[in-house]
């Protein structure tokens, strides 16, 4: 939302976003140098961020919002590389679509590219080595990465515009009502769809997932023998 | 696990449920305009600060699509870029797999 974030907050979010991006670019270089075969996987996960973040879907609240698609990339490459891909998508949207802007780009990178994927990644790390079904893990990661993106957007706005009565907390709840509730059904659909995409990746390129140690070997092999 | 297409079925059910939910919401809420949630957010901020929405302008000048048509076209291009990448890679993998099997 261009223009709605005061200058000092734009700067704060940019300052948080930049080191993450630089670290992400460094990691990206390392991963690609180590194994050229990961490039197609990067294409798929990045491609879904492009597709899903351009789809504005109607929701139960009578307003529209779009999913983020960042969960898949967070699982395969971690949150920092995901931030770099998000930054590219968000730059495209702010240059050509007036969807976000250059001044609020930092804030958008923090919510969509950093906090969302980071929350998803935390869930993934927690469930990776447990007996929880692999596809269920992917579903949870994607849905939560999506939801946390909008939690963060709400928080960013609440910090900039605390309510006169009740301060930051009450305006956070207000913005959550606008952004997060709209997002719940979208996040569920996104999670299911990306879990399905992950199934196809497992079927076509299990060796790549094994090399990147995305999931333990027996989980991937089990999933393959099931299909 | 007997059924091969569990996830596919689940995805179809989820998408259908989403569509039904939308139809239900749009028929019961006559005043729903289905504007973007960021538009609602902007209105909320305008209300809280008592400033008109038009008074908020981007800190850095930016180009805005002149009409909704052009905007939706650009969004379609974005989705197409993603779709081409995804389709290309899955095709590449499929071909790779076929070659190693042969």
Binning chain A into helix, strand and coil, the percentages to the nearest 5 are 75, 5, 20
In-domain check, residue A45: yes
In total, the C-beta contacts within 8 angstroms joining chain A to chain B are 177
In-domain check, residue A1: no
For residue B43, give Cα distances in angstroms to A145, A186, A218, B37. 26, 22, 51, 10
pLDDT score of B54 more than 80:
no
CATH of residue A204's domain is 1.10.1760.20
In-domain check, residue A204: yes
Cβ neighbors of A5 (< 8 A, separation 6 or more) are A13, A103, A104, A107, A156, A157, A160
pLDDT reported for residue A58: 84
- Cα separation, B89 vs B84, whole angstroms: 8
Are A97 and B22 inside 8 Å of each other by CB? Answer: no
> What are the extents of the domains in chain B?
1-62, 65-102
Q: pTM above 0.95?
A: no
Confidence of residue B44 (pLDDT cuts 50, 70, 90): confident
Strand order of the β-sheet with A63-65 is: A57-58, A63-65, B35-36
pLDDT tens profile A49-105: 999 988 888 888 778 888 898 999 999 999 999 999 999 999 988 888 877 778 888
pLDDT reported for residue B32: 67
pLDDT tens profile A181-205: 888 989 999 999 999 999 999 988 8
Give the pair of three-digit tokens for residue B31: 């005043």
Q: How many domains does chain A have?
A: 1
Q: Which of A139, A57, A54 is nearest to B83 (CA)?
A: A54
A64 has which bridge partners?
A58, B36
Q: What is the span of the domain harbouring residue A110?
A: 7-226
pLDDT tens profile A119-150: 999 999 999 888 888 999 999 999 999 999 99
Q: Are strands A63-65 and B35-36 parallel, antiparallel or unpaired?
A: parallel
pLDDT score of B88 more than 90:
yes
Are A1 and B41 inside 8 Å of each other by CB? Answer: yes
DSSP type of residue A163: B
ipTM entry: 0.84
In-domain check, residue A77: yes
- Cα separation, A71 vs A123, whole angstroms: 10
Q: Which of B11, B26, B40 sits opposite A192 (nearest CB)?
A: B11
Give the pair of three-digit tokens for residue B39: 């538009």
Any idea which of A116-130, A202-216, B18-32 has the lowest mean pLDDT?
B18-32
pLDDT reported for residue A102: 83
Are A62 and B34 inside 8 Å of each other by CB? Answer: yes
Are B59 and A54 inside 8 Å of each other by CB? Answer: no
Q: Which of A130, A131, A150 is nearest to A190 (CA)?
A: A150
């Amino acid at each position: 939302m261009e223009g709605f974030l005061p200058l000092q907050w734009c700067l704060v979010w940019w300052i948080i976003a930049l080191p993450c991006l630089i670290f992400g670019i460094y990691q990206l270089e390392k991963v690609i140098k180590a194994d050229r075969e990961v490039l197609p996987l990067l294409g798929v996960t990045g491609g879904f961020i492009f597709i899903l973040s351009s789809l504005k879907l109607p929701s139960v609240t009578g307003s529209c919002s779009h999913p983020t698609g960042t969960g898949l990339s967070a699982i395969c490459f971690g949150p920092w590389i995901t931030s770099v891909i998000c930054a590219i998508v968000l730059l495209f949207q702010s240059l050509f679509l007036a969807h976000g802007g250059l001044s609020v780009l930092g804030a958008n990178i923090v919510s969509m590219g950093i906090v969302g994927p980071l929350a998803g990644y935390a869930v993934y790390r927690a469930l990776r080595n447990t007996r929880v079904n692999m596809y269920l893990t992917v579903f949870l990661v994607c849905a939560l990465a999506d939801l946390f993106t909008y939690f963060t957007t709400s928080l960013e706005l609440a910090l900039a515009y605390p309510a006169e009565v009740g301060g930051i907390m009450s305006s956070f709840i207000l913005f959550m009502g606008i952004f997060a509730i709209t997002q719940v059904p979208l996040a569920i659909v996104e999670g299911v769809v990306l879990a399905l995409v992950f199934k196809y990746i497992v079927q076509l390129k299990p060796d790549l997932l094994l090399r990147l140690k995305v999931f333990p070997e027996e989980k991937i092999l089990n999933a393959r023998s099931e299909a | 696990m007997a059924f091969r297409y569990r996830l596919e079925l689940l995805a179809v059910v989820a998408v259908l449920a989403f569509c039904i939910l939308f139809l239900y919401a749009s028929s019961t809420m006559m005043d729903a305009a289905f504007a973007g949630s960021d538009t609602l957010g902007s209105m909320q901020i305008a209300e809280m600060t008592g400033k008109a929405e038009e008074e908020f302008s981007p800190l850095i000048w930016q180009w805005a699509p002149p009409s909704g048509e052009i905007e939706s076209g650009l969004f379609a291009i974005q989705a197409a870029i993603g779709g081409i990448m995804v389709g290309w890679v899955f095709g590449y993998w499929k071909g790779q797999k076929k070659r190693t099997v042969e």
